[in-house]
Amino acid sequence: FLSQIDNSQIVTLFVDGRIDKQDTEIGDINLDPLNPASPLKVGYALVSEQPSFFNGYIDEVRLYSTARTQQQIQNGMWGLDPATTGLEGWWQFARTNMEGHLMDMSGKGRTARLGAGTRVARPSLVESTIPCNMEMHLAQQQLAAGVWRLVDDGMGAGQRPEPRHSHVAINVGGTRMLVHGGVGMDGESVLSDVWMFDRGIVSDSPWSLIQPVSTATMFPMYGSRGILWEGHSVVSVGVASPGTAGSPQVAMMRMDANFGTRSMGMQEVSAGLPPLSYHTLHQLPAEDDNERVWVLFGGELRQSQRSGEDGHLLTESVSNALFSSNNLEEWRTVIVPGPKPEGNYWGASLVGMGELLVVFGGQDSYSPHSRLWTFEITSSRWHKRVYAAVNAADGSVYDSCAAVEECANPPPQLNLARYGHSSVVYSGTKVQVGVAASELGLPIVFYGGVSEEHDRPVDEIWVILVPRTGQCTLLGPVVNSGPSSPGGLALHTAAMMSDALFVFGGLRQMQFDSSNELWAFTFAEYVAGSTQSMSGTWRQVPLSGDAMPRVWGHSMVMFNELWIIGGSVCEAEEGEEARCASEDDFEQLQQTTMSVWSIEFVDEMLENLGKENTTAWGGEGRKETTTGYGEDNSFPPGRRGAACILLENSLLMFGGIGKEAEGDGPEIALDDFFRLKLRDDNNVGGGGGWQGVMEWGPLSFPGEKPSGRGHAGVVVREPYVYFFAGDSVMEGELADMWRFDYMSAYPPRCQAVGEATQSAVANEEMEFTIETRTVLGKTPHSCSSEFTVEFHGLQSSSFLSGQVSKEQLPDRCRYSVRYMSTLIGVFQMQITSGGQPIHNSPMEVKVHPGPTFPANSVATGLGLTACQAGVQCGFNVYARDERRNQGLGDDRLRVLIVGPCIGDRLDPVTNLLSPCTGPDTLVAFSRYNYDGSYRVSYTLTAAGNYSMNVLLRGNHHIEGSPFLSTVTASDIHPDLTWIYGRGLSYSEAGLSSNVYVQTRDEFGNNISMQ
């Protein structure tokens, strides 16, 4: 470590954090005395005006704008915070991306580039003498990118779970997450509680405790993994607490939840698995519920229940076994057959040929290789193929490459190991392989690429013959009969049209000098096994129209025209195009783009394609107009190395290498997916060109997806699009293969149709359909998609699931959804497939009451039981349906008032009140309120007891009907009040005389007075 301390003139050299040497005479650390404006170079110097290069290994370079003290140097030996003051550049040399660039880990965006002849290598490891502090290193590890947001700190108001680790967390639909078990704060106790976290709750605590049906069956578990099963059960596999008496070594639990009432029951499932924790558990998708498969891999293997002094189980080891199950009760070990391509695999070519995907070459451990692999689609197995390298000029087999898995020791003139080359399937008729199509697919043509033995891309064409089984053949280099050629290209694009191979763009040097030229190689007649050489002629295709940019890392597809998408273009000022061929200027002139260009061939060229001695070659380039579409008006950011493929009237594009911020920032590997809808569906397949403006739109698929990458191989084999390998800026070279089904239902293009998507009737089964569309807008034929339908009450905490059924029709699959709600109100209906919502999800569904059920309808109000003569009294009647929801109330309400009663209404046997028998029957007035309720009013003048008969739907009594109502007399009316008794007419002195006064109201009702 070199440092200038305290801004003095003393320069100190540190080795392993200790001072090795100090000096005051070191000279200026300038960039280049002959060119002060040139970039900083590491491992390079000018000695007597001659370049001198460092001969050795350099690992991790940091550049500071401030002096570093010895303590700071020692503290940063195991790791560093990118936000350290003065840190201007940090290059770790672990690996480069596909163009030889090193990412700046300081976040300043100063991407470094390997000089010509420099390689990233892995020297032999030696024992370190550095006084390291591993704990400090681990504490200083930082995330390189990403944005975190604190959702809940666990310290707010309301209920919250105890802090824990090694628990299981499961998304149980909508905004809810379930958490079970784990190790508590003390690091020893194993928890058994279950909590629900609802991120949709913002006004109070988002946590709520799930009440167990029985605390005796709530097993304390840790290190478990769980999955949601059938929308209401959580299946969890893990280790029960070692301190729990009778606990099994491995516990597979099924927890059946009622998410509406927040209650849960738990039961053990006998699985026959070894005791595992910290493993992976995953459910594989299936068309039929009976075909579902769960897989479990790896984990910490608990081989005994004996605990050490610290309470931890002894004899622990790590498992690499893979188990599968169809019912979660019986598990079996899975043996994965066959080999597969090694890791660190990119820059390879990927082409489809019948039922085989073919991969040749690539970069492995920073060096090109020449391995040939095929992937058999029907069996999903990789095969490493043996091949012979044959000289295309005379048909002789190259020495040491007669039957090899890799031509590792080729003769000097043979350059098979490469990466960054192009590969296409031959589509012409002049090359005859002489083998039946059932035994051999079409020849594969690859061109260019980077070879370790050369300082620039190779200028060779090779042809690969790949039979279904047995030895393959590599023919090349194909003889060029013309006077010129592209001169070697890497990271270019290629396409076949008839017998002509077209290549466009790319790098003419290892890491600079991009091209904007279109070349075509026309194959001559060739018959396998003959003495003639395989040959053809290169010629450059002159282009008119708009000036095509110098581009590399772009994508190209062919559909009557050549379409060029994105890439890294060299943006030089007019008259300075030569700077694009300068290594020093090339980097600063690069800019990633998402422009779309097309090259339309002249008619004469298409007619004479493949013919010799014709000059009718040419095309017209033009820059196409594209726009975003959809709600977010999305437009893909600039990139290079995207994987593009043409499907019907759409161009699909995945990934690529772009910038963290458009036009600025460090490079990142993109993992986005876009569709370019070509202009006019009516013109597909026509020769008249496209009309209008093309539209970009983002695509997203449920479940797992490939990590970000550039230069991935892509090929179509119905119904799948396959992506293989590629390069990630952060992870380096990749070797994985992914596929997606472009003929299955694509959720954002599916929609629910039917009246039941907007309104429903309580207690009645409702049904609607889901119209499915593929990513290309077509109707899928198979029933391979799964949909989940959930209803969440917007006026309550109610929850409901819809039942989805599938019916295979001759030309499509019919998806029907049935549901029945017992509650009324407004519900939010969410329809997802693989967690991804369909086009019109979520929707609001209003559930109306069902038919009126009189026995559940009720009446309330004082007028039911009491009234005063001559006064208008009343009460309310509420119609209810079968589930006691407030009903529609659209039925006629009848209120019959019988009385005043004659005789005693109390039955001496049953001690119940009998209905009033009269003498009169009156009809009360009722008014419907249009909300399922009625207002009843009546006026009686005769005091006494009455029966209130409240009837709905004909003569059906509501709950509690008939009611007993007592009508009392009104106020005293003097004119109707009379006096009587002997004392009115006769009285004796000294004796008491009686006079009686009977008060009456205005209706003649006697008024009882005390």
The tens digit of pLDDT for each residue in 669-722 reads: 888 888 887 654 443 333 334 344 667 888 877 667 888 888 888 888 888 888
- Under the banding of pLDDT at 50, 70 and 90, the label for residue 273 is low
Higher per-residue confidence, 352 vs 345: 352
Tokens at residue 61, please?
A: 């370079």
Higher per-residue confidence, 351 vs 654: 654
Tokens at residue 973, please?
A: 């009316």
Q: Looking at the predicted structure, is the pLDDT value of residue 392 above 80? A: yes
Highest mean pLDDT among 17-21, 529-533, 698-702, 758-762: 758-762
Higher per-residue confidence, 80 vs 554: 554
Q: Which long-range contacts (CB under 8 A, 24 or more apart) does 174-180 make?
A: 174/200, 174/790, 174/792, 174/830, 175/199, 175/200, 176/200, 176/259, 178/210, 178/234, 178/257, 180/221, 180/224, 180/226, 180/234, 180/236, 180/255
- Return the half-sphere exposure (C-beta side, CA atoms, 13 A cut-off) of residue 987: 11
Angstrom distance (rounded) from CA 596 to CA 548: 11
Percent of the chain residues topping a pLDDT of 90: 12
Residue 944: CB atoms within 10 A of its CB come to 17
- pLDDT for position 555: 82
CA neighbor of 519 nearest in space, from 534, 507, 537: 537
Least confident segment among 120-129, 411-420, 490-499, 763-772 = 120-129
Angstrom distance (rounded) from CA 702 to CA 681: 27
Altogether, the residues listed in the chain come to a count of 1010
The tens digit of pLDDT for each residue in 422-446 reads: 888 888 888 887 654 445 557 899 9
- Under the banding of pLDDT at 50, 70 and 90, the label for residue 955 is confident
Q: Residues 503-510: what's their mean pLDDT?
A: 86
Q: What is the 3-state secondary structure (H, E, C) of 747-770?
A: HHHCEEECHHHCEEECCCCEEEEE
- pLDDT for position 314: 38
The tens digit of pLDDT for each residue in 920-951 reads: 788 888 888 888 889 999 999 998 889 899 99
Q: Looking at the predicted structure, is the pLDDT value of residue 866 above 80? A: yes
Higher per-residue confidence, 772 vs 545: 772
Q: Residues 153-171: what's their mean pLDDT?
A: 73
Q: What is the 3-state secondary structure (H, E, C) of 380-412?
A: CEEEECCEEEEECCCCCECCCCCCECECCCCCC
> What burial letters (b/e) apply to 955-981, b meaning 16+ CB within 10 Å?
ebebeebbbbbebebbeebeebeeeee
Q: Looking at the predicted structure, is the pLDDT value of residue 871 above 90? A: yes
Percent of the chain residues topping a pLDDT of 70: 68
- pLDDT for position 317: 46
In order of 902, 943, 944, 946, 1007, the CA distances from 1000 in angstroms are 20, 11, 14, 20, 5
- Under the banding of pLDDT at 50, 70 and 90, the label for residue 503 is very high
In order of 121, 411, 909, the CA distances from 408 in angstroms are 19, 10, 110
Q: Residues 746-766: what's their mean pLDDT?
A: 91
Angstrom distance (rounded) from CA 488 to CA 459: 4
- pLDDT for position 756: 93
Highest mean pLDDT among 101-105, 250-254, 768-772, 785-789: 768-772
Least confident segment among 89-93, 112-116, 843-847 = 112-116
Q: Looking at the predicted structure, is the pLDDT value of residue 328 above 70? A: no
Q: Are strands 963-968 and 866-868 parallel, antiparallel or unpaired?
A: parallel
- pLDDT for position 241: 54
Higher per-residue confidence, 743 vs 267: 743
Q: Looking at the predicted structure, is the pLDDT value of residue 311 above 70? A: no
- pLDDT for position 536: 92
CA neighbor of 857 nearest in space, from 927, 933, 958, 961: 958
Q: Looking at the predicted structure, is the pLDDT value of residue 803 above 70? A: yes
Residue 213 identity = V
- pLDDT for position 987: 85
Q: Residue 860, SS3? A: strand
| Bridge partners, 252 (sequence order) | 237, 269
- pLDDT for position 549: 82
Higher per-residue confidence, 50 vs 387: 387
The tens digit of pLDDT for each residue in 609-628 reads: 555 555 556 667 666 666 66
Q: Looking at the predicted structure, is the pLDDT value of residue 792 above 80? A: yes
Angstrom distance (rounded) from CA 626 to CA 347: 29
Angstrom distance (rounded) from CA 491 to CA 642: 11
Q: Residues 809-838: what's their mean pLDDT?
A: 90
- pLDDT for position 521: 93
- The DSSP output letter for 261 is T
Tokens at residue 54, please?
A: 């460092």
Highest mean pLDDT among 736-740, 771-775, 891-895: 771-775
The tens digit of pLDDT for each residue in 172-221 reads: 665 667 788 777 777 777 787 888 777 555 556 777 787 765 554 566 77
Kind and range of the H or E element at 75? helix 70-75
CA neighbor of 251 nearest in space, from 231, 222, 279, 216: 222
- Under the banding of pLDDT at 50, 70 and 90, the label for residue 367 is confident
Q: Looking at the predicted structure, is the pLDDT value of residue 82 above 70? A: yes
Q: Residues 532-560: what's their mean pLDDT?
A: 82
Q: What is the pTM of this model?
A: 0.54
Angstrom distance (rounded) from CA 135 to CA 185: 22
- Under the banding of pLDDT at 50, 70 and 90, the label for residue 308 is very low
CB neighbour list of residue 308: distance below 8 Å, 6 or more residues apart: 314
The tens digit of pLDDT for each residue in 441-488 reads: 578 999 998 887 666 788 999 999 888 888 888 888 999 998 999 999
Q: Looking at the predicted structure, is the pLDDT value of residue 856 above 60? A: yes
Q: Looking at the predicted structure, is the pLDDT value of residue 833 above 70? A: yes
Q: Looking at the predicted structure, is the pLDDT value of residue 858 above 90? A: yes
